[in-house]
Amino acid sequence: MFKGPYQGMNAVYQSIHSWLLQNHYKIVYPTQEIYHNDPATTPDEDLLTEILIPVEEAKE
């Protein structure tokens, strides 16, 4: 779960991708984002986004 403005999500994805590479996993697409509140009525710092990334062990 990511809390904050949508512009900050790129850093989250970069961190996830780095961790996956270091730990020998790969993404099994598609990924998914679930938005838990409305950006029209929620301050940017309170936005909640659930990031779902299916993975599997990378074959060497």
- pLDDT tens track for 16-54: 999 999 999 999 999 999 999 999 999 999 999 999 999
pLDDT at residue 10, as a whole number: 95
Domain range for 47 = 2-57
Residue (of 16, 37, 36) closest to 27 by Cα position: 16
Report whether pLDDT(7) > 90: yes
Question: Domains in the chain: how many in total?
Answer: 1
pLDDT score for 59:
86
Question: ∠52-16-32 over CA atoms, to 5°?
Answer: 20
Note if the bond before 30 is cis, omega within 30 degrees: yes
